[in-house]
Structure formats: structure tokens, C-alpha cells
């Protein structure tokens, strides 16, 4: 297929009536046919409709995020919010026919086990009874995101959005960064009631959905939704315990060394992002020129000219630099009809930009690499912890090229990046445990939830000192974490992925070619297997084994001379 130009892509609202008609027709064909070829072609027709819907939704979301003030795409987004639950329900109705088909066994052989697992998941997570609640859930999530994208922070006599505050938050001038952190906390505390209210509604809504679908609470439904076929909440709890045992002590040492380097003996919360006395290394190139360094780097890593990144860049499938009116955050979203990913981010001139650019490019590469791995869009990409390996491991594979972004500060950047990875793992576990507690005890009061967070901070970030900041000391910092609102139980995936990606990093130090081959193979496999099966296939250790965590922690500590 010829490469499309993003700017020329026409957006058209997909008709939900046409979708419903196709779904019903497909369902009927699946119900009445025992001929594999007829079933295959019925599914192919349905796949086309599904792909069209998701492509339009992704395009709408990207265009909205590029300019949140555009009323057209904002309005279209609410259309998707309203129709998404119906699409899920109709899909569940179609796929449930596969499960009950008389020739079920031959279909399994033909289409693979994964499609049937997905069919079962849909059946167990969606039903007509909960449609209304699902719509409500997505509206609440969007309300939170929209609120944040419109956030206006008063700082130093000017107004900034949250992305634009990033450079000040890690300023090498301690007083400036203290004031910046305070300004951000003022924004959140002024909106505390609003955010607490949105989250409270989300907990109630999600709990109702779980109960209507006969789950004891939202935890078990959350795991089903994340398609965790091969691990349990108990295994995740053990993983978190191992993190507390083997990684938290390293982070305490990291903070001790940090305070030594910064020459302060009272490391405060606003010092957290700054690891070096002169400030963190900053890219030596303008943020508007990142793509040029990225282009050189990906050409070398993949030994291809132009690289996948060049192609995305040339055809407009990237929007990298922060500007007013653009939504916050970074992501990679695939436009399924075209098989092309889009990289969205908010470069603001910090070292974090480089990690984000490479992270999202890793997702993009995997999407391109696995575009033909299955005829079913549901099986193109694996579950999310594996997707996060695609992106995180790319960050490590890019280490030898960091001179392109940081010049003679490249080795300082590598230290910083690995340090941040170690600091992140306990934080991610904390976000995960918070959700387990909250959804396991849905009647907790707002105040109880804040106390839960406070206790978790003591366990996972024992070095934290909020310097009397009332907002943070009340245990409210979790409201800054969007995933808690919009993507329940997603967060641990980053931690699991990090522990696996660290293995790839370790291999890359002595055998770069081998590390690249493992990475490439993992991307190529797409979503045809489950998480732990994929790891086994490419020769990586499960993050649930205590050995994997210990070894990753040990190697990283050695590299950082902790």
C-alpha cells in the first residue's frame, strides 16, 4: 500500500448504524454456517468495519490532541465516547459466536488460540447491561484529561500549561524549582475537590460494572480487561514485595548520593527531579531539531536508510514539540486502516524529551513490524506490558547514540536515565498497589484514600520530604497520575516491562547484535502469544522470578556505582 500523507487524511465519522448492520450480518453468518471459508470471509468483512471505526477514532483523538480548542474534533470525540460501548458490545456479540460454534475446534486450529481468548474476554467484560456505565466511565476519564489539558499554572507572572512547566520543575536554581513545584501544587490543590469527585465517581461506576458482570469487585474485572491470561494479582503482589526488598534500598542510596552531589543535606520533594548540581544534562540541540538526531540514530540502529522514523516524519505522522493548545503527554497511536503509527509528544527542552521520543518510536517500530502478523486486528499487538517492552527496551538500545542528543554529556545522560528507571519501578508499584486497595475496598472515604497513599509513600519512597506542603502531605499526590483515572491497572505494566527491558540492556552491553535480535523478534511476534510465552520464545526471563529482579537491580547498581 502506498504511504498516505497524514495531513491529507480525510476524517469521516463512521456510521454506527452501518457498523451494527454489519455486526448483525456477521453474527448471523457465524451462527448458521459450518463452512470455514464462509466464516473467514464473514469475519474479514467485520474486521474491515472494526478497523474503520478504530482508525477514525484514533485520527479524531490525535487531531483533537493537536489542538484541544478545535470544537469539531471535541464534538466528534463525544460521539466516540457515546458509541464505543455499543461497538464493544456488538463485537462481543460477534465473537461469542465463535465460542459457541459447532465447528469451534477447527476454527481454533485455523485462527489460533489467541482470538478465542479475546472472544472470551469480550464476553466476560462487556454486556448490554453495563453499556450505560461504560459510557459514563469513559466520559469521566475524558473529563479529567480535558481538565488537565486546559490547566493554567500561574508562575513568575506568566501562565503556563503543565507540559511547559517541566523545565522549571527541574531547574538547576533551587529556589526557582521550589517555586515551580509550589505553583503546580497550588493548581492541583485548587482543583482537589473536582479531581477527588471525578475519581470517586469512577470508583463507584467501575464497581457497579464489576458487580453487574458478577465479579466480586473491580480488581478481578480490571485484570480481565487488561487480558492478563497468565498472571494473577497474587503474582503481582509478590513482584511488588520483591521490588520493596531489592530495589527500594537502591533508591534510598540514589537519593543519598543525589543530596551529596547537590550539596544539600535536606533533600526536599522539589529536588527529586534534579540529579546533578549543574542541573540534569539538557539536549544540546533545539527541540525543533530532535527529529534530525533521531533520524541519524534510527538509521544506524536499524541499518536502513530511510528508517521507519524518517518515513513517519516525512509523511507527517509525528507531532513532537509542545505548544499552547496541545494536549499534554506523549503516546503512539496506530491508524489501523493504513497500518501506520502516529507519534505524539510535547518536547519542552528537557532530557526527558529524548527518552519520550525514543520510547514512542519503539512503540511505532513494533506497530510497523507486526502489521502483518495476524489477519485479526485484535491480535496485532500483544498485551500492554509487552508493548511497554517494545518502547522501554528501545530506550536502552539507543544508549550508544546519545552523543547525538547530549554531546559530551551523553554518559551523564545514560546514568540519569538508568537512575530514573530504578526510581520509577517502586513508584509504579505504589500506583498499582493504591489501585488494588481502592478497588478492593470501594467504600473507602476520600480521606481514607489519601491516607492509603500516604502509607504507600512511606513504603515505596521512604526518602520523601514534602517540606510542609499541605497538598502533598495530605496524601493527595496520586491525583496527578492520569493512569489512575483513565487506565485502571495499566501502571504495573511499565514496571514489569522495565525489569525485562533491563535484561535487554544488560545483554546489549556485551552483545549488542544479540540484544537487537531479541528485540526485533519480540516486535515481530506481535500479539500472537501471551506475555510469558513471548518472553520464553525470545529467551528472556519472567519478571515474576525473583532472580530477574535481583539481577537487574544488581547490574544497574554496578553500572551506577551505587
Please report, as ranges, the residues that interact with Zn ion according to CB under 5 A.
391
Q: List alpha helices for 126-269, DSSP H.
A: 131-149, 162-169, 174-190, 192-212, 218-225, 233-246, 248-262
> Could you tell me the smallest distance in angstroms from the CB atom of residue 66 to Zn ion?
19
Choose between 327 and 391: whose C-beta lies nearer to Zn ion: 391
Radius of gyration of the chain (CA): 23
Choose between 149 and 391: whose C-beta lies nearer to Zn ion: 391
> Could you tell me the smallest distance in angstroms from the CB atom of residue 494 to Zn ion?
7
Choose between 27 and 390: whose C-beta lies nearer to Zn ion: 390
Choose between 85 and 527: whose C-beta lies nearer to Zn ion: 527
Cis check: omega of the bond before 252, within 30 degrees of 0: no
> Could you tell me the smallest distance in angstroms from the CB atom of residue 391 to Zn ion?
4
Three-state secondary structure string covering 413-468 = HHHHHHHHHHHHHHHHHHHHHHHHHHHHCCCCCHHHHHHHHHHHHHHHCCCCCCCC
Q: Smallest Cα–Cα separation from 527: which of 58, 230, 92, 118?
A: 118
Q: What is the DSSP letter of 378?
A: G
- If you count them, how many residues does the chain have? 562
Choose between 155 and 494: whose C-beta lies nearer to Zn ion: 494
> Could you tell me the smallest distance in angstroms from the CB atom of residue 522 to Zn ion?
14
Cell of 303: 541499518
Choose between 369 and 449: whose C-beta lies nearer to Zn ion: 369
> Could you tell me the smallest distance in angstroms from the CB atom of residue 330 to Zn ion?
8
Distances (CA, A) of 354 to 176, 271, 417, 444, 479: 23, 21, 10, 40, 26
The total of other beta-carbon atoms located within 10 Å of residue 458's CB is 9
> Could you tell me the smallest distance in angstroms from the CB atom of residue 169 to Zn ion?
21
Q: What is the DSSP letter of 541?
A: -
Q: What is the DSSP letter of 3?
A: P
Do residues 495 and 429 lie in contact, with contact meaning Cβ atoms separated by under 8 Å?
Answer: yes
Choose between 220 and 356: whose C-beta lies nearer to Zn ion: 356
> Could you tell me the smallest distance in angstroms from the CB atom of residue 362 to Zn ion?
8
Q: Is 4 exposed, middle or buried (0-12, 13-18, 19+ CB in 10 A)?
A: middle
* Max Cα distance, the chain (Å): 75
> Could you tell me the smallest distance in angstroms from the CB atom of residue 363 to Zn ion?
6
Distances (CA, A) of 340 to 14, 92, 311, 433, 451: 19, 26, 10, 35, 44
Do residues 219 and 439 lie in contact, with contact meaning Cβ atoms separated by under 8 Å?
Answer: yes
> Could you tell me the smallest distance in angstroms from the CB atom of residue 19 to Zn ion?
29
Choose between 249 and 329: whose C-beta lies nearer to Zn ion: 329
Choose between 322 and 386: whose C-beta lies nearer to Zn ion: 386
Choose between 388 and 506: whose C-beta lies nearer to Zn ion: 388
Residue nearest to Zn ion (CB): 391
> Could you tell me the smallest distance in angstroms from the CB atom of residue 369 to Zn ion?
16
What's the CA gap between 332 and 369, in Å, rounded?
14
What's the CA gap between 257 and 381, in Å, rounded?
40
Amino acid at each position: 500500500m502506498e504511504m498516505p500523507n497524514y495531513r491529507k487524511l480525510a476524517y469521516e465519522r463512521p456510521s454506527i448504524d452501518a457498523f451494527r448492520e454489519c455486526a448483525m450480518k456477521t453474527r448471523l453468518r457465524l451462527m448458521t454456517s459450518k463452512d470455514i471459508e464462509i466464516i473467514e470471509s464473514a469475519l474479514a468483512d467485520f474486521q474491515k468495519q472494526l478497523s474503520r471505526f478504530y482508525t477514525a477514532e484514533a485520527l479524531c483523538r490525535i487531531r483533537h490532541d493537536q489542538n484541544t480548542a478545535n470544537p469539531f474534533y471535541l464534538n466528534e470525540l463525544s460521539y466516540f465516547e457515546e458509541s464505543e460501548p455499543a461497538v464493544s458490545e456488538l463485537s462481543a456479540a460477534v465473537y461469542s459466536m465463535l465460542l459457541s460454534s459447532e465447528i469451534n475446534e477447527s476454527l481454533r486450529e485455523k485462527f489460533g488460540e489467541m482470538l478465542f481468548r479475546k472472544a472470551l474476554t469480550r464476553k466476560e467484560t462487556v454486556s448490554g447491561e453495563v453499556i450505560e456505565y461504560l459510557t459514563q466511565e469513559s466520559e469521566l476519564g475524558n473529563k479529567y484529561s480535558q481538565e488537565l489539558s486546559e490547566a493554567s499554572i500561574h508562575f513568575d507572572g506568566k501562565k503556563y500549561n503543565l507540559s511547559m512547566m517541566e523545565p522549571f520543575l527541574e531547574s538547576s536554581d533551587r529556589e526557582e524549582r521550589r517555586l515551580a513545584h509550589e505553583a503546580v501544587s497550588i493548581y492541583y490543590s485548587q482543583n482537589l475537590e473536582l479531581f477527588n469527585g471525578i475519581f470517586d465517581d469512577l470508583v463507584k461506576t467501575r464497581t457497579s460494572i464489576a458487580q453487574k458482570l458478577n465479579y466480586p469487585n473491580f480488581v478481578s474485572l480490571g485484570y480481565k480487561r487488561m487480558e492478563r491470561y497468565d498472571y494473577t494479582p497474587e503474582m503481582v503482589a509478590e513482584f511488588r514485595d520483591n521490588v520493596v526488598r531489592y530495589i527500594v534500598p537502591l533508591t534510598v542510596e540514589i537519593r543519598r548520593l543525589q543530596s551529596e552531589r547537590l550539596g544539600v543535606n535536606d533533600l526536599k520533594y522539589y529536588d527529586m527531579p534534579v540529579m546533578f548540581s549543574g542541573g540534569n544534562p539538557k539536549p544540546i540541540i533545539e527541540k525543533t531539531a530532535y527529529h534530525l538526531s533521531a533520524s541519524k540514530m534510527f538509521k544506524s540502529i536499524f541499518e536502513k536508510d530511510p528508517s521507519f522514523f524518517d518515513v513517519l516524519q516525512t509523511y507527517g505522522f509525528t507531532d513532537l514539540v509542545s505548544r499552547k493548545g496541545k494536549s499534554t503527554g506523549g503516546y503512539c497511536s496506530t491508524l489501523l486502516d493504513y497500518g501506520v503509527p502516529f507519534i505524539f509528544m510535547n518536547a519542552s527542552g528537557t532530557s526527558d524529551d529524548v527518552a519520550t521520543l525514543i520510547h514512542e518510536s519503539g512503540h511505532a517500530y513494533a506497530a510497523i513490524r507486526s502489521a502483518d502478523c495476524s489477519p485479526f486486528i485484535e491480535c496485532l499487538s500483544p498485551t500492554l506490558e509487552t508493548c511497554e517492552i517494545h518502547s522501554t527496551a528501545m530506550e536502552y538500545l539507543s544508549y550508544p547514540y546519545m552523543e547525538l542528543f547530549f554531546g559530551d554529556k551523553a554518559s551523564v545522560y545514560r546514568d540519569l536515565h538508568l537512575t530514573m528507571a530504578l526510581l520509577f519501578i517502586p513508584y509504579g508499584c505504589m500506583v498499582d498497589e493504591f489501585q488494588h486497595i481502592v478497588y478492593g475496598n470501594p467504600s473507602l472515604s476520600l480521606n481514607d484514600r489519601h491516607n492509603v497513599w500516604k502509607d504507600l509513600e512511606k513504603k515505596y519512597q521512604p526518602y520523601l520530604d514534602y517540606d510542609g506542603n499541605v497538598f502533598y502531605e495530605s496524601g493527595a499526590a496520586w491525583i496527578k497520575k492520569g493512569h489512575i483515572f483513565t487506565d485502571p491497572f495499566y501502571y504495573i505494566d511499565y514496571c514489569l516491562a522495565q525489569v525485562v527491558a533491563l535484561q535487554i540492556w544488560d545483554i546489549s552491553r556485551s552483545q549488542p547484535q544479540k540484544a537487537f535480535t531479541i528485540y526485533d523478534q519480540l516486535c515481530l511476534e506481535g500479539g500472537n502469544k501471551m506475555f510469558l510465552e513471548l518472553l520464553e520464545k525470545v529467551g528472556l526471563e519472567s519478571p515474576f522470578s525473583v532472580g530477574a529482579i535481583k539481577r537487574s537491580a544488581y547490574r544497574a547498581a554496578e553500572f551506577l556505582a551505587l
